[in-house]
């Protein structure tokens, strides 16, 4: 399906499978739907089901209510560039910190960036990490309640990683991560560093820890939870966000350049939005006659999930289906409502 501006998309299948990873986690890997938890925090990422599934989030919330000392761990890769897909996790962390006064640990794995060749030098990894810290503080995280662990700068984390490494074999790493013997040993060791990031607060007097992550990252959590149990720690809880597709409806990635990056200039963002995959018809006449399909329209997807209340989104979808609203108008709305002009 194209749109009246003549923009053609190649597939809308990704939108339909946005939560496929989450559903797979529930059906095959023992995660639970977030909708089963009563009394979820009143925040848009829960209300809109952007946080779709979990592991032990109910236990974590109970511990929080009982006055136990709870932390959140939310990591970042030093080669990463913050984009719209990260917003639900960032916002959830920020909400939890502000609402409940939770301490946040934010590991930045510049060591993994280096051993996996995502950065070319260790120095590049450190520099990227420091810039990311600046971005995250600017985002609003409280510096009194947020601790950044940059692996090249806080190498103490390796002491815990070495301890945990006795509980993880190369066969297990291979099975979960798919590493092959020709890949460097730093990469093969890294899963224990990642588990150390998550378990770290539990070694510093915290009673429970929560990790909000993308559904595709749950395999790391399964390794970490097994390790935690082996060493006598509580199994860290997890919240799984849904997978946010890029503006072309496919997996959001730097290489596809289909995401909206937080520091992108206005002109570039506008171009991406106006080229977003749409659920419109090939011409204005056809669109007016046949109507559009909001279920595969990326501008609508972003508006619904990030900016609009439920009734506003439903009304917009209805106008689109009836052909009252054109794809170009939907895109313009997304561009204008986002105030991308900075």
Partner 1 sequence: MERINKLKGDYSKVSEKDMEKAIMVDEWVDLKKMMDDYGIFS
91 binds partner 1 (CB under 8 A): yes
Of 152 and 251, which has the nearer Cβ to partner 1?
152
Residue 81 to residue 262: CA distance in whole angstroms: 8
Terminal alpha carbon distance of the chain: 32
232 sits near partner 1 (criterion: CB under 8 A): no
Instruction: Specify the residue, 49 or 262, whose C-beta has the smaller distance to partner 1.
Output: 262
Out of 67, 138, 178, 182, which residue is the one contacting partner 1 (CB under 8 A)?
138
Report if residue 181 touches partner 1, rule: CB under 8 A.
no
Using CB under 8 A as the binding rule, whether residue 262 contacts partner 1 is answered as yes
* Stretch of residues binding partner 1 (CB under 8 A), selected from 87-95, 184-192, 224-232, 239-247: 87-95
Residue 177 tokens, joined: 């991560």
Answer yes or no whether residue 12 interacts with partner 1 by CB under 8 A.
no
For position 133 contacting partner 1 by CB under 8 A, the verdict is: yes
- Shortest distance (Å) from residue 188 CB to partner 1: 24
Nearer to partner 1, 150 or 237 (CB): 150
Half-sphere exposure of 307 (CA within 13 A, CB side): 16
Nearer to partner 1, 132 or 223 (CB): 132
Give yes or no for residue 334 binding partner 1 (CB under 8 A).
no
Q: Does 338 bind partner 1 (CB under 8 A)?
A: yes
Residue from 134, 166, 271, 310 in contact with partner 1 (CB under 8 A): 134
Interaction with partner 1 in 141-160: which residues (CB under 8 A)? Answer: 141, 143-144, 146-150, 153-156
Q: Does 339 help bind partner 1 (rule: CB under 8 A)? A: yes
Structure token digits, residue 72: 């959140």
Stretch that binds partner 1, among 6-14, 84-92, 222-230, 276-284 (CB under 8 A): 84-92
Closest distance to partner 1 from the beta carbon of 300 (Å): 16
Closest CB 241 distance from partner 1, rounded Å: 16
Question: Residue 38 or residue 267: which is nearer to partner 1 going by CB?
Answer: 267
Query: Distance between CA 149 and CA 320 in Å, rounded?
Result: 46
Residues that bind partner 1 (CB under 8 A): 84, 87, 90-91, 94, 123, 126-127, 130-131, 133-135, 137-141, 143-144, 146-150, 153-156, 262-263, 306-307, 338-339, 342
């Amino acid at each position: 399906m194209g749109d009246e501006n003549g923009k053609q998309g190649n597939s809308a299948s990704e939108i339909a499978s946005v939560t496929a990873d989450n559903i797979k986690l529930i059906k095959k890997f023992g995660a639970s739907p977030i909708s089963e938890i009563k009394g979820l925090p009143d925040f848009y990422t829960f209300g809109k089901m952007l946080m779709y599934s979990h592991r032990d989030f109910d236990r974590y919330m109970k511990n929080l209510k009982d006055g136990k000392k709870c932390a959140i761990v939310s990591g970042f890769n030093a080669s990463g560039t913050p984009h719209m897909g990260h917003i639900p996790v960032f916002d959830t962390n920020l909400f939890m910190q502000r609402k409940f006064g939770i301490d946040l640990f934010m590991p930045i794995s510049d060591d993994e960036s280096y051993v996996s060749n995502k950065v070319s030098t260790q120095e590049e990894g450190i520099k990227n990490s420091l810039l990311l810290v600046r971005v995250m503080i600017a985002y609003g995280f409280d510096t009194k309640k947020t601790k950044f662990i940059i692996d090249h700068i806080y190498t103490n984390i390796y002491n815990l990683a070495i301890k945990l490494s006795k509980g993880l074999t190369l066969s297990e790493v291979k099975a979960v991560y798919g590493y092959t013997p020709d890949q460097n040993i730093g990469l093969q060791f890294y899963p224990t560093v990642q588990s150390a990031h998550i378990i770290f607060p539990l070694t510093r007097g915290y009673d429970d820890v929560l990790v909000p992550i993308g559904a595709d990252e749950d395999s790391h959590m399964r390794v970490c939870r097994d390790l935690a149990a082996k060493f006598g720690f509580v199994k860290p809880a997890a919240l799984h966000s849904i997978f946010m597709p890029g503006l072309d409806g496919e997996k959001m990635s730097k290489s596809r350049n289909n995401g909206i990056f937080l520091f992108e200039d206005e002109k570039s963002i506008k171009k991406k939005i106006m080229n977003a995959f749409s659920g419109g018809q090939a011409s204005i006449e056809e669109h007016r006659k046949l109507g559009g399909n909001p279920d595969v329209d990326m501008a609508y997807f972003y508006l619904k999930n990030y900016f609009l209340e439920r009734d506003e989104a439903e009304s917009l979808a209805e106008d689109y289906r009836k052909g009252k609203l054109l794809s170009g108008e939907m895109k313009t709305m997304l561009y204008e409502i986002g105030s991308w002009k900075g």
